Amino acid sequence: MPVYIDQLNRFVEVPAFPKRIVSLVPSQTELLFDLGLEDRVIGITKFCIHPNKWYRNKQHIGGTKDINIELINSLQPDLILANKEENTKEGLTILMKKFPVWISDIKNLDDATSMIKEIGSITNTTLKSTDLNNEIYKNFNLLSNFMSKDRLIKNRVAYLIWQQPFISIGEDTFICEMLKSCLLHPVFEQKNRYPQTTIEELKALNIDFLFLSSEPFPFKEKHKFALEELLPEIEVVLVDGEFFSWYGSRLINAPSYFQTLLSQLKNRN
């Protein structure tokens, strides 16, 4: 069998034409759809909401952190696609003993496009994966050109992914890199990956924007209003977390979303 190196530098033997694929990562599930692998994906997680028809019709094998090992065993996959951060080491270790498990580790755009390239190679969809990557880089270059001409003067941002406690994003995270691609300055960039914070700290950090992500905690208008009351000097903005944190084929449309968002922020200021 062909041997591939995953993003943890593990050697993984995978059949030359995997036909029974299980995806444990929502953004990689969407990638498999865009690579045209409808008939070869047999299991996804309950958080793999895109595409909707797969969410409705494919076998769910639990969540990203609480995968159903027995159900996966019964499916007898010939390839499992996982991620270092989104899945647990314990669960993946069990699966590795029986099945080929290819694990991604995504911290920036190059990691993401490398993952897309490798999955294209493993699944014999190299032409499609190459086209996806070309489109992604083209659109991020367009974003860069836009930012160079129309960059925000105010750019200090805190990005919240959770409340009670409030949790933001720090160094070495994909979200941080996406913010920086917009020439925004993440105020917790020098802290650990997911630092906790408080209203008092946010007040003291001279923040221009507070982004409330739609995932993993589903921030809504009511949360925005509550934080505006507590932080009247900061502009509080609801953002689509999928464009900041999904590192598969959704990256094609992320630059367009970022450009629209940045234009709205500039117009408000």
Which residue ranges make up each domain of the chain? Answer: 3-105, 132-268
Alpha-carbon span 149 to 9, nearest angstrom = 40
Please state the pTM of the whole predicted model: 0.96
pLDDT at position 41 is 98
Of the pLDDT bands very low, low, confident and very high (cuts 50, 70, 90), residue 268 is low
pLDDT by residue (tens digit) across 96-148? Answer: 999 999 999 999 999 999 999 999 999 999 999 999 999 999 999 999 999 88
164 has a pLDDT exceeding 90: yes
CATH superfamily, domain 132-268, is Nitrogenase molybdenum iron protein domain (3.40.50.1980)
What average pLDDT score do residues 251-259 get?
98
- The angle that helices 174-181 and 126-150 make with each other, rounded to 10 degrees, is 50
Alpha-carbon span 123 to 121, nearest angstrom = 6
pLDDT at position 269 is 61
Query: 57 with 116: CB under 8 angstroms?
Result: no
Task: Say if 3-105 and 132-268 have the same CATH topology.
Answer: yes
Of the pLDDT bands very low, low, confident and very high (cuts 50, 70, 90), residue 152 is confident
Which CB contacts under 8 angstroms, 24+ apart, belong to 48-57? Answer: 48/23, 50/26, 50/250, 54/29
CATH superfamily, domain 3-105, is Nitrogenase molybdenum iron protein domain (3.40.50.1980)
Of the pLDDT bands very low, low, confident and very high (cuts 50, 70, 90), residue 70 is very high
> For the chain, what is the mean pLDDT?
96
